[in-house]
């Protein structure tokens, strides 16, 4: 079955016209007519990123290494970042936490961490880990302020953990 190109053109032009048909209404003072046009290019673009199955050995926060993982946030304004995972053979330890630090990928900020362990302009997501719970989880919503972030993982528990990180950029 072949599609008649003229019928296809008519259908396509009708669809495109419908996407830009203005809707009408009244202004806030209910006296001035206004029209709103939705441009198809203004529909927001989103991205989902994930790092799964990352094993993190016990690492004090102050010794947290920066990784090769970079979260590219250029062009996005907000993010929801989530962590989820499990601990192995955990000895009950008060205040045991697992987390991810998102450090802006800016030379001066990274150098401040590497040289002086000063954490500047960073975002952090963490979760409490307990021997009585099989899983841990945490989630934050952030306003993105830099085009990319370097990730650092830490684990203040007595045993290694397996962590999954999910980022939803919007």
CATH classification of the domain holding 67: 2.60.120.660
154 and 106 housed in the same domain: yes
The reported pLDDT for the residue numbered 150 is 93
29 and 68 housed in the same domain: no
Mean pLDDT by 10-residue block, N- to C-terminus, for the chain (170 residues)?
54 52 52 58 75 91 88 92 88 81 94 91 92 89 94 91 93
Residue 71 CA to residue 102 CA, distance in Å, equals 8
Burial 62-89 (b: 16+ CB within 10 A, else e): eebebeebebebeebeebebbbbbebee
Q: Is the pTM of this model over 0.85?
A: no
13 and 64 housed in the same domain: no
36 and 57 housed in the same domain: no
Q: Which domain holds residue 23?
A: 5-42
The reported pLDDT for the residue numbered 11 is 57
18 and 83 housed in the same domain: no
The reported pLDDT for the residue numbered 130 is 83
52 and 132 housed in the same domain: yes
34 and 62 housed in the same domain: no
The reported pLDDT for the residue numbered 48 is 86
The reported pLDDT for the residue numbered 47 is 85
60 and 136 housed in the same domain: yes
Please state the domain count of the chain.
2
The reported pLDDT for the residue numbered 158 is 86
Task: Give whole-number Cα distances, 44 to 147, 148, 155, in Å.
Answer: 17, 19, 35
Per-residue DSSP letters for 97-120? EEEEEEEE--HHHHHHHHHH----
């Amino acid at each position: 079955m072949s599609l008649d190109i003229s019928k296809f053109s008519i259908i396509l032009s009708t669809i495109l016209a419908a996407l830009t048909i203005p809707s009408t209404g009244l202004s806030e003072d209910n006296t001035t007519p206004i029209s709103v046009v939705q441009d198809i290019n203004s529909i927001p673009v989103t991205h989902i990123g994930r790092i799964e199955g990352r094993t993190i050995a016990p690492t004090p926060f102050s010794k947290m290494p920066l990784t090769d993982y970079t979260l590219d946030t250029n062009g996005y304004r907000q993010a929801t970042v989530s962590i989820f995972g499990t601990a192995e053979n955990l000895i009950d330890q008060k205040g045991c936490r697992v987390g991810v630090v998102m450090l802006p990928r800016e030379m001066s900020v990274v150098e401040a961490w590497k040289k002086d362990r000063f954490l500047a302009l960073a975002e952090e997501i963490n979760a409490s880990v307990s021997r009585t719970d099989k899983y841990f989880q945490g989630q934050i919503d952030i306003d993105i302020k830099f085009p990319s972030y370097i990730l650092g993982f830490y684990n203040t528990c007595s045993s290694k953990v397996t962590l999954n990180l999910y980022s939803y950029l919007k």
